[in-house]
Amino acid sequence: MRRPIVLVPACTRQIGLFPNHAAQVKYVNAVVLGAHCMPLVLPALGEMTDMEAVLEVADGVMLTGSASNVHADLYGQAIHNPALPLDAARDATTLPLIRAAIKRGIPVLGICRGFQEMNVALGGTLHQAVQEVPGMMDHRDKEDDSLEVQYGPAHRVLITPGGKFAQMLGNPAEIMVNSLHGQGVDKLAPGLTVEAVADDGLVEAYTVSTAPGFTLAVQWHPEWLITQNQDSLKMFDAFGKACRDYRDNKKERA
């Protein structure tokens, strides 16, 4: 039986003289090695996306992190720092994709920017500079550090007891995560359930309680060195199982 197809929405990137649709290798590898699914990179086509065609083949959606931020217009704010990168084509692709996938019961996993995209797509808002919010930690990485340091354990997150995420991981009280983001959840969208928070109270993981299928979004990067982190493997294993279940149920309905 074929592996489940997991859509991995691309970012837009200028590489040399030409614009490109791009997805980082670590995300693609995490779908293969962690979820045991087949990744399919989805171009950031915005309104040109044939959403029905895309969702017909999808058994899951994984929303990646990115250097770019969700445009503040999409949650009713002015841009705080114009120097930070944006990706309007990705926004125009992923936000309607999120809403449509969740409505269909297609499993959705959001990572970093994807975590923020899901919240905005469903009606939430973001802090555009978490480090400037009174009482909040600085959750950013240091660009001069090696990748091993940037993606290394940075702080703990406290897991909601009895929650879906806690059960997924075997009910730990807390886990250590990396931290490479300047933005974060301000107002949580309706229908979202907090699954983990940082010590400063910032939401670090949530699920969509109103969704008919699997959903999980995390602010950190579980895809990094996926095979070396047991918590990350449990997360991707649960996502992969949900994708296989969706594939099998879709086949039965056909």
Of the listed 112, 139, 181, 195, which one is catalytic?
Answer: 112
Whose CA is closest to 95, among 66, 75, 67?
A: 75
How far is it, in rounded angstroms, from Cα 151 to Cα 162? 28
Contact 29, 235 (CB under 8 A): no
User: Distance of CA 153 to CAs 10, 107, 136, 198, Å?
Assistant: 26, 27, 18, 13
How far is it, in rounded angstroms, from Cα 232 to Cα 234? 5
The dihedrals phi and psi of 64, each to the nearest 5 degrees, come to -85, 165
- Tokens standing for residue 79: 């841009």
How far is it, in rounded angstroms, from Cα 64 to Cα 213? 19
Contact 175, 156 (CB under 8 A): yes
Of the listed 139, 204, 221, 243, which one is catalytic?
Answer: 221
Of the listed 195, 204, 223, 243, which one is catalytic?
Answer: 223
User: Is 37 among the residues known to form the active site?
Assistant: no
Burial code (b: 16+ CB inside 10 Å, e: under 16) for 204-215 equals: bbbbbeebebbb
Q: Is 142 helix (H, G, I), strand (E, B) or coil?
A: coil
User: Is 221 among the residues known to form the active site?
Assistant: yes
User: Is 223 among the residues known to form the active site?
Assistant: yes
Return the number of other C-beta atoms located less than 10 Å from residue 225's C-beta.
17
Per-residue 3-state assignment (H helix, E strand, C coil) for 45-61: CHHHCCHHHHHHHCCEE
Active centre residues (catalytic): 112, 221, 223
